[in-house]
Amino acid sequence: MNILNQCENIFIDFDGVVVDSNEFKEKAIEKSIFAIIGKNQKSIDAINYFNINAGLSRHKKLSKFFNSDDVAEIMKIYSQKCINFFSIKTPTIGLDEFLDYIKRNNSLIKIYILSGGEESEIKLFLKKNYLLDFFEGILGSEHSKSDHLKNLKAKENDIFIGDSKNDLKVSLQRGIKFILFENYKSLNSFPSQELINGNVYVRTKNFQTLINNLCYG
């Protein structure tokens, strides 16, 4: 049976899934931290922690290492870099077709962006690429991904499409199906094979291969 037939909600991660942005963000946070803190062991540790923990709120990650004033200045620089980047980027392969397929064939399914990123940046990207109307909502950094799923009462037949170990761990915590994206992954945050084994419903390169596997397979 096609798992879409029993699904009520699809949650889609943003970075590395909707947009190929992992490499950009890893370089952007490095430049942003160095600009405020300088290059030292603390800043290097913060950058490594930030990139390994893709999917968590940027404020939460930075606050682990820096005071509130420094966090605010780093986030200001980083956010502007992200806005500039998203203003010129296009969606990953097959996203438009996947969203259109769901709306035409499974119109009762609600689709959400579930991200550790900022809602305003995500909304900018979706509006620019005429995708905003496909989504029921943007679930961003104001809550953790786990809390968002809990608040929406996600069920076992719902689907989370993500690309990081934290995404996979959240799906396991909330008991929903996980689809793992690989084309745009970061080696810093990609789940280990041990974590993947038995816990991933589908491994796919991009939305085009997912369509072929899930929808037309």
Q: What is the pLDDT of residue 91?
A: 98
Distances, alpha carbon 216 to alpha carbons 11, 17, 22, 102, 107, in Å: 20, 20, 29, 12, 17
Q: What is the pLDDT of residue 137?
A: 96
Q: Are 65 and 46 in contact (CB under 8 A)?
A: yes
Q: Which tens digit of pLDDT belongs to each residue from 201-215?
A: 999 999 999 998 876
Sequential DSSP letters for 11-68:
EE-SBTTTB--HHHHHHHHHHHHHHHH-SSHHHHHHHHHHHHTTTS-HHHHHHTTS-H
Cα–Cα dist 122/148, whole Å:
16
Q: Which two three-digit tokens encode residue 126?
A: 């979706």
Q: Which two three-digit tokens encode residue 155?
A: 């069920």
Q: What is the pLDDT of residue 55?
A: 85
Reduce the DSSP state of residue 167 to 3 states and report it: helix
pLDDT under 50: residue ranges of the chain: 1
Q: What is the pLDDT of residue 90?
A: 97
Cα–Cα dist 213/202, whole Å:
9
Q: What is the pLDDT of residue 216?
A: 62
The phi and psi torsions of 131 (rounded to 5 degrees) equal -115, -10
Q: Are 19 and 42 in contact (CB under 8 A)?
A: no
Cα–Cα dist 197/95, whole Å:
26
Q: What is the pLDDT of residue 129?
A: 97
Q: Which of 151, 180, 213, 177 is nearest to 55 (CA)?
A: 180
Which residues are CB-neighbours of 198 under 8 A, at least 6 positions away?
none
Cα–Cα dist 123/138, whole Å:
8
Q: What is the pLDDT of residue 1?
A: 45
Which residues are CB-neighbours of 7 under 8 A, at least 6 positions away?
106, 109, 157, 158, 159
